[in-house]
Amino acid sequence: MMIIHFTSRPASPRGTSFGTGWRRGLPSHERQRRKGVETMTRKFTKMMTAGCGIVAALSMALGGCGASGGNGGATAELSKDDVTLRVSWWGGDTRLKKTEDVIAQFEKEYPNIHVEPEYADMHGYLDKLSTQLAGGEAPDVVQMDVPRLASFAAQGVLADLSGLKQLDLGDIDASTVSTGQYEGVQYGAPISTAAIAVVINRDMLDKYGVQMPDTSKWTWDEFTAFQQEILKKSNGEVYGATLIKNDILLNYWARQHGEELYTDGKVSISADTLAGYLDQTAEFVKLGIVGNADRWSESAAASLGQTDFATAKSAVAFISSNQITAYSASLNTENLTLAPVPSDTQNGWGYEPTSMYWSVTSKSEHPAEAALFINYFINNQSAGDILGTERGVPSNKTIREAVAKTAAAPDKEALSFVDTFDPLCGDAPRLSPPGSSDTSEVLGRYQQKVVFGDMSAADAAKAMIEEVQANLDAAK
């Protein structure tokens, strides 16, 4: 695993993620500090490459502490002095621009607070953050997602937000707020929600004379027939979609079969139900809906902008609903429609997971300012206008309604999909347990084995359940 060395430095100019450093070379105290960080990072790297994983590494770095939710004794009152606040997130160029625009507004309103942005793509973000935590160099505010929030919270590296009076979560649905809790403690402030959906390029349907079906309650057989029609009328030039390596989509499938992916910290999806998911993945490949196995594998591993859907080689894809904005930009069209995932059962299987959270690290020296920044990001209307649905549908109900009035077409589609999807939704599941952050990648490996005929779906399902459960057990 790649470990990115990332350490503190003098405050960089706004708009950059890395400063140029000390002009006359490193002073002696900084050389000593970095030497200590490098020693810790080497230990951390050794544990990671030995397969112990992020939880074990963080436990080592923190001396085995549990989920205390503390903030290192730092004051929770706003300072009147100048404060530098480090804020870290993952994402691409669009997210960077929007986030930095919000930061500029925040700094204008609170001139004594300077926000130092730190960002990376998703693959580098977790490695970087883990290294920072291991070296005592964590940012004040960090972006989290559902599969990882519990793992970080369990190791005591995140602060309890409920004690920070500068943060108000009152305009967010209680069910959404609760998704940021681990063992009853609020570690994540929900930024947004985003469901897994089917996105359809209506320009391509029009081009080949394919009628848009009624997707409000479509079944898997109807979905298959729709995709086969696209393939036939385009003479095999345009593909469809198959199931993706995504634990939320897998949980939708489980709930459609009366099960849950996890229950009480254990894998609870049955081997038969999981085998059905793997079989369905392979069936779409066999039917030629996504081309042959090699083509499917290549597209499945591609970055968003290089997928078959983003490059107009496919008219259908499974995506996170907030990604419609990025796909619209890639395809240079606003004629995209979001539809619910197909289902043969129509009652209560769906849910809108929180797509991202802001968290405060437990060792932050500025928890009050960190909470103030999160509050501004989530609750300020000007911030909401800038952000739109880039991170998902805003969790704040008032912001969401205001954004809907002026949103561009892709954002409007993401927002209106909430109403389309709501009748299919039941209660959201509890936060994914510690150790579950690799489940999507594990799923992808077993999909590959089944699609290429290396394992039967039944054997792959049993092996995957054992592997995922071992990951959960190792995180306890």
Four-CA torsion 200, 201, 205, 207, nearest 10 degrees: -170
Per-residue model confidence as pLDDT tens for the chain (476 residues): 333 333 333 333 333 332 323 333 444 443 444 344 444 434 333 333 333 444 444 444 444 445 555 654 455 899 999 999 999 999 888 899 999 999 999 999 999 999 999 999 877 898 999 899 889 999 999 999 988 999 999 999 999 999 999 999 999 999 899 999 999 999 999 999 999 999 999 999 999 999 999 999 999 999 999 999 999 999 999 999 999 999 999 999 999 999 999 999 999 999 999 999 999 999 999 999 999 999 999 988 888 889 999 999 999 999 999 899 889 999 999 999 999 999 998 789 999 999 999 999 999 999 999 999 999 999 999 999 999 998 999 999 999 999 999 898 999 999 999 989 999 999 888 889 999 999 999 999 999 999 999 999 999 999 999 999 999 999 98
pTM over 0.85: no
Rounded Cα distance between 176 and 393, Å, is 12
Closest CA to 57 of 41, 36, 33, 35: 41
Alpha helices in 287-336 (DSSP H): 293-300, 324-331
**Position 105, amino acid:** Q
| 235 shares its domain with 331 | yes
**Residue 22 forms part of a structural domain:** no
**Residue 264 forms part of a structural domain:** yes
| 241 shares its domain with 371 | no
**Residue 39 forms part of a structural domain:** no
Rounded Cα distance between 103 and 39, Å, is 34
| 327 shares its domain with 369 | no
Using a 10 angstrom Cβ sphere, with 0-12 exposed, 13-18 middle and 19 or more buried, the burial of residue 86 is buried
| 240 shares its domain with 114 | no
Rounded Cα distance between 345 and 26, Å, is 63
Two tokens, residue 379: 């609750």
Closest CA to 436 of 45, 48, 54: 54
Number of domains in the chain: 2
| 175 shares its domain with 210 | no
What pLDDT shows up at residue 347? Answer: 81
| 153 shares its domain with 247 | no
| 275 shares its domain with 398 | no
| Domain encompassing residue 202 | 196-352+430-474
Q: Which of 422, 441, 460 is a domain's end point?
A: 422
**Residue 395 forms part of a structural domain:** yes
Assess contact for 172 and 395: CB atoms under 8 A. yes
**Residue 47 forms part of a structural domain:** no
Residues 6+ apart with CB under 8 A from 221: none
**Residue 2 forms part of a structural domain:** no
Assess contact for 164 and 368: CB atoms under 8 A. yes
**Position 114, amino acid:** H
| 211 shares its domain with 260 | yes
Q: Which of 422, 450, 466 is a domain's end point?
A: 422
What pLDDT shows up at residue 401? Answer: 93
| 248 shares its domain with 115 | no
Four-CA torsion 177, 183, 186, 189, nearest 10 degrees: -50
Do strands 113-120 and 83-90 pair parallel, antiparallel, or not at all (unpaired)?
A: parallel
What pLDDT shows up at residue 67? Answer: 54
**Residue 29 forms part of a structural domain:** no
Using a 10 angstrom Cβ sphere, with 0-12 exposed, 13-18 middle and 19 or more buried, the burial of residue 116 is buried
**Residue 362 forms part of a structural domain:** yes
Longest dimension (CA), the chain: 71
Helix (H, G, I), strand (E, B) or coil at 172: strand
What pLDDT shows up at residue 419? Answer: 87
**Position 97, amino acid:** K
* Secondary element (H or E) of residue 355: strand 354-360
| 274 shares its domain with 381 | no
| 188 shares its domain with 293 | no
| 75 shares its domain with 157 | yes
CATH of the domain at 219: 3.40.190.10
Rounded Cα distance between 465 and 451, Å, is 18
